Amino acid sequence: MMNALFVLLCFLVTASDVLAPGIEIGIKDGKISCLGTSLPRDASTEIIDAKGAYVTPGGVDSHVHFQQDNSPTGDNWVTGSRSAIAGGTTTVLAFASQLKTEESVIPCITEYRTRAKGRSFCDYGFHLILTNPTPTIMSTEMPLLISQGITSVKLYMTYEPLKLGDSQLLNVLMSARVLGFTTMVHAENSDIISLITNRLEAAGHTDPYFHAISRPQIAENEATYRIISLAELTDTPILIVHMSSEIAMEHVRKAQTRMLPIHAETCPQYLFLLSERLKGNEKDKFEGAKCVCSPPLRHDPRDLEAMWRGIANGTFTTFSSDHAPSTYDHAGGKKLGLKDGIMRYRNIPNGVPGVETRLPLLFDFAGREKDSRLSLQRFVQLTSSDPAKLYGLEGTKGNIAPGYDADLVIWHPEAELEEGVVIEQKNLHHGVDYTPYEGMIVRNWPRYTILRGKKVWDRDNGGILGTQVDGKFLQRGKGRIVVGKTGQEVKGMLAGERDYWY
Ligand code: URP
Ligand code: ZN
Ligand code: ZN
Ligand code: ZN
């Protein structure tokens, strides 16, 4: 029993079950070794008593932006990953972003890996943002990256410095089908956004609120339908990131009903925040800049309800933070949008912080006796097990079962926090100066976070116990399709028609 650790008396929650109370979790060498009751132990066995609380797998946040070149006042690896473990997330997948001028992605990947090495409190991996998918990169470098455990890419349909046209999107999708990497897509129609933005600007409408006006839902709907069509044509699985629009979500739902492998992600901001937040307050109208993100916050509470339905009914495969912070009160942060007293939303860095609050915000509505919006199992699927499967971490992350990494969130016993927990910037661990969820009350918070058998967060005794060398780079395998299947016929195309041109 050397080096063993037990978590005692818990309500164990996995993607499929909530086990009877009183289960014990045995941990050895950083892995789950056994589950049972009255497990054997000796004097050297370290014990954590969960006191009958829920225990869920460590969070897998498959969409965070740490230390990217385009957000100099956002989180670096130390502050971002520290914030992750304080909120129960033990794995993050961040981005390495290719510049359009780069003909090779190897220096970019090397640089981003160097930024994280020895500076992460949690385990981590990278998605490659492909902005210039040259034939050499696709044929020679992508196989190399896959062999190094970087098995996913993100493509943008908007943002001038990042976006790809349809022919580029098609080419990447076709090589994804051949090489087996996972493709994430930011789906918004770029021309709609730039046309409206130019016209708003000419009319003098440049306050943060107009950010939402400039990116209407129809821009998301159109791009979503388009990328689903391109994915269907090429027979390639995709995941559409940070979805915020009901009609776009219905496009995904319909595709899933036809068994197409179309996955979708939504984020806390699209469940909890409305565009009125962009209006700021009487004292500081520019404060709305804090909530500028893309897609933008939507106008109507019914929009939030629609996203909650997608959470409950299985349309969404992942619930990620899209943690993309910029410091508010800083000339190089959100204040880039305020110059000489004039507000220009176009210059405000996009994104909100949320890696630490993601799990508590969703857990608040999971498995409640009253007004429950999702089951506890669904909570685990969305926040941990399904992102692990989709991004090639199955067997290691996202489950509490023998052989998996011992990454756990031990919540407070439900009776212990009668008043709930108030979300306050002063209690958070990220490197920016605000949270959009200030003052919101959630019913629970991770009491302990365990990373590969090590207690890295103890909310009641010392807070952060881990260090920035605890996290390791995850050599991911190829992801697996969670929804639908490939190899289907396309309506209106002859069976095998694709073979003529593939
Ligand atoms: O507003 C956002 N989400 N900014 C981060 C970049 C992205 O598109 O995910
Ligand atoms: Zn995006
Ligand atoms: Zn993002
Ligand atoms: Zn500074």
Distance of CA 373 to the CA centre of its chain: 20
The domain limits of the chain are: 59-189+215-326+350-398+415-441+470-502
3-state secondary structure (DSSP) of residue 413:
coil
Ligand 4 center–CA 352 separation, angstroms: 18
Beta bridge partners of 61: 92
Q: 292 near 208, Cβ under 8 Å?
A: yes
Ligand 2 center–CA 354 separation, angstroms: 15
Closest C-alpha among 122, 100, 99, 121 to residue 111: 99
Report residue 44 as tokens: 């050297």
Ligand 1 center–CA 6 separation, angstroms: 40
CA atoms within 13 A on the CB side of 194: 8
Average pLDDT (143-161) is 97
Q: What angle do CA 370, 273, 93 make, to 5 degrees?
A: 95
pLDDT at 295: 98
CA distance 116 to 473: 8
Ligand nearest to C-alpha 330 = 4
pLDDT at 1: 41
As a CATH number, domain 59-189+215-326+350-398+415-441+470-502 is 3.20.20.140
Q: 425 near 390, Cβ under 8 Å?
A: no
Ligand 1 center–CA 159 separation, angstroms: 10
Report residue 184 as tokens: 């994430």
With a 6 Å cutoff on the Cβ, whether 324 touches ligand 1 is: yes
With a 6 Å cutoff on the Cβ, whether 322 touches ligand 1 is: yes
Ligand 2 center–CA 156 separation, angstroms: 7
With a 6 Å cutoff on the Cβ, whether 294 touches ligand 1 is: yes
Beta bridge partners of 247: none
pLDDT at 169: 98
CA distance 39 to 6: 9
pLDDT at residue 370 is higher than 90: no
Residue closest by Cα to atom 4 of ligand 1? 351
Task: Write the DSSP assignment of 204-236 as a string of letters.
Answer: T--STHHHHHHS-HHHHHHHHHHHHHHHHHHT-
- Amino acid sitting at position 93: L
Ligand 3 center–CA 90 separation, angstroms: 19
pTM score, whole prediction: 0.97
pLDDT at 5: 77
Distances in Å between the alpha carbon of 153 and those of 146, 194, 361, 460? 10, 25, 27, 39
pLDDT at 502: 87
CA dihedral angle for residue 23, residue 28, residue 30, residue 34, rounded to 10 degrees? -30
With a 6 Å cutoff on the Cβ, whether 350 touches ligand 1 is: yes
pLDDT at residue 2 is higher than 50: no
pLDDT tens, 3-56?
A: 477 888 888 999 999 998 889 999 999 999 999 998 888 888 999 999 989 999
Distance of CA 50 to the CA centre of its chain: 27
Probe target for ligand 1 pocket from 131, 157, 242, 277, with the most ligand atoms within 8 Å of CB: 242
With a 6 Å cutoff on the Cβ, whether 65 touches ligand 1 is: yes
Residue closest by Cα to atom 7 of ligand 1? 294
> Which numbered atom of ligand 1 lies nearest the CA of 159?
8
Task: Estimate the crossing angle of helix 246-257 against helix 217-234, to 10 degrees.
Answer: 20
With a 6 Å cutoff on the Cβ, whether 293 touches ligand 1 is: yes
Task: Estimate the crossing angle of helix 217-234 against helix 190-202, to 10 degrees.
Answer: 160
CA quadruple 245, 95, 145, 90: dihedral sign: negative
CA distance 97 to 478: 20
Closest C-alpha among 447, 442, 443 to residue 461: 447
Residue closest by Cα to atom 9 of ligand 1? 322
3-state secondary structure (DSSP) of residue 149:
coil
Ligand 3 center–CA 238 separation, angstroms: 16
Beta bridge partners of 153: 128, 183
Average pLDDT (204-230) is 98
pLDDT at residue 456 is higher than 60: yes
Report residue 189 as tokens: 């129609």
CA distance 35 to 408: 13
With a 6 Å cutoff on the Cβ, whether 352 touches ligand 1 is: no
pLDDT at 319: 98
Q: 462 near 101, Cβ under 8 Å?
A: no
Ligand 2 center–CA 71 separation, angstroms: 14
> Which numbered atom of ligand 1 lies nearest the CA of 241?
9
> Which numbered atom of ligand 1 lies nearest the CA of 63?
9
Q: 176 near 473, Cβ under 8 Å?
A: no
Average pLDDT, the chain: 96
pLDDT tens, 85-143?
A: 999 999 999 999 999 999 999 999 999 999 999 999 999 999 999 999 999 999 999 99
Residue with tokens 């008593």: 49
What percentage of the chain carries pLDDT values higher than 70? Answer: 99
CA distance 155 to 135: 16
pLDDT at residue 285 is higher than 80: yes
pLDDT at 470: 98
CA quadruple 358, 378, 221, 175: dihedral sign: positive
In terms of pLDDT, which residue wins out, 474 or 414? Answer: 474
Ligand 3 center–CA 226 separation, angstroms: 20
Query: Kind of pairing, strands 421-422 and 446-451?
Result: unpaired
